[in-house]
Amino acid sequence: MKYKGQSVRITLQSFQWLMFLIGTSIALPIVIGSVFGLSETEISGLMQRTLFLVALGSILQKVIGHSLPIIEGPAGSWVSVFVILAGFSKQIGLSVEESLSLGMGSLALAGCILILMGLVKNKSFYERVFPPLVSGVFLLLLAIQLSGIFFKGMIVQEEGSVDWELTMLAIFVFVFIVILSIKAKGWGKQFSLLIGIIVGWGVFALFGGASNPIGQRDLSGVAFPELFSWGPPAINGNIITATILFSFTLILNNIAAIDSMYEVFDGKKINKQDSIRRGFVIGGINHWLSSIFSALAIVPLPVTSGFVQTTKQRNGLPFLIAAGSLLLISFMPQVVHVVSTLPVAVASAALLSTIVNMFIISLKKITSNKLNQRELSIISISLLGGTSLFFQSPDLFEDLPSSLQIVMSNGLIVGTVVVIGLNLIWRNN
């Protein structure tokens, strides 16, 4: 009976991880498709490639990378880069294929930078450049940015007007999961995210909700994700400059994801420095794979620590089972089409619920050491510089060179560069 109960628990944990993997993966391919005006068939192919990379990248990191149950998911921070790239390409008359090739070149270059970071074995370098103050501010900025993205995903619009029924369902799912994760006991607390997604998806289907409009390809048989569907990666001077600056956020994202999971695990069974270095190397390889398979880059998602904190699922086996299942699913267009019917609004609500714990982790990290006037000033200036740009239109910087457009339109990049720079320049007396 004990063995049977354990098997049931692992099965449910694996299914909950699978839902979380899918939830973090389905929205951004649709966003990128709409930005570049891709056809429904092209978006469907992008969805398949994204699920494949999420599964493969997560397995690689768990087995030979940082060895932690952290999802490698589509990077929301890369979306802003692609949005600016799309606008810039239109200005200079590049085709969609040419601009996407530049995007893939940027991913390949970023992969090289991450691998080089993984070769740095100087422990004091990481401690000096990326102390808890820096990673904490980055996590807080990322939590603010993601909360805006996920909340916007909950607000469903049809032809310019809000679909209040689906929006209210998403808000209900968010509140329901948060209450379960705080008040419930035992399995109710541990599987709060899964319960919320199933309830939301079920209500959506019960009232005749339509699936996400990603189109249908040939849904028969087995299909391998297509290579270089956006052409070979390309590069130019503007992309090189923007990618180097953007890599600061990628580096901190990797450190923050591992660091925040380190906090959740209370430092047990984790050699943090080795995990960070191995994570950089596999993260670089995953960027190369994203470039080869023509998809949005996958990165370690710091929001995973919020998921683990909410569900108390620290066992790596269910994570690997879920990632392996998603890998198999990615070869079956019929199943890809089914999982893509998970409403983006419900997925966004579930993801938003995990941001609560992400805020908690970031604040704990910032306050892990005593804060003097220097630290408080660095935090304030960095948050001011980053968050103020979250509320500005990208059109504000359209007269700047394209490399600066990409940087200045992203508050996360600016806030990250500011906190790293101030921490290095402003000496602690």
**Are the C-beta atoms of residues 249 and 413 closer than 8 Å to each other?**
yes
Structure tokens at 291: 């470039």
What is the model's pTM?
Answer: 0.81
Report the candidate in 417, 305, 405 with the shortest Cα–Cα distance to residue 360: 305
Task: Identify whether 359 is part of a domain.
Answer: yes
Structure tokens at 213: 């409009």
Tally of domains in the chain:
1
Distance CA(402)–CA(407), nearest Å, equals: 9
Distance CA(20)–CA(201), nearest Å, equals: 13
Task: Identify whether 197 is part of a domain.
Answer: yes
Task: Identify whether 114 is part of a domain.
Answer: yes
Task: Identify whether 170 is part of a domain.
Answer: yes
Q: Tell me the CA distances in angstroms from 42 to 109, 156, 229, 239, one per residue in order.
A: 25, 23, 9, 24
pLDDT of the residue at 212: 53
| Helices 132-154 + 237-264 axis angle, to 10 | 100
pLDDT of the residue at 220: 60
Other C-beta atoms lying within 10 Å of the C-beta of residue 425: 8
pLDDT of the residue at 80: 65
Task: Identify whether 221 is part of a domain.
Answer: no
pLDDT tens-digit profile, the chain (429 residues): 555 667 888 888 898 899 888 877 877 787 677 667 777 778 788 889 999 999 999 999 999 998 889 999 887 677 767 766 776 666 667 777 778 888 899 899 999 999 999 888 776 777 788 888 888 898 899 888 888 878 887 887 666 677 888 889 999 999 998 898 888 777 777 778 778 888 888 888 887 665 554 555 555 678 888 888 888 888 877 778 878 878 888 888 888 888 888 877 765 556 677 888 899 999 999 999 999 998 888 999 887 887 887 777 777 889 999 999 999 999 988 877 777 777 878 888 887 887 887 888 888 888 888 889 999 999 999 999 999 988 887 677 777 776 677 778 778 888 988 999 999 998 776
pLDDT of the residue at 336: 79
pLDDT of the residue at 269: 58
All residues at 6 or more sequence positions from 308 whose CB lies less than 8 Å from its CB, including other chains: 69, 261, 264, 314
Q: Domain of residue 167: give its range.
A: 2-215+234-425
Task: Identify whether 9 is part of a domain.
Answer: yes
How far out from the chain centre does Cα 59 lie?
A: 16
Task: Identify whether 44 is part of a domain.
Answer: yes
Task: Identify whether 223 is part of a domain.
Answer: no
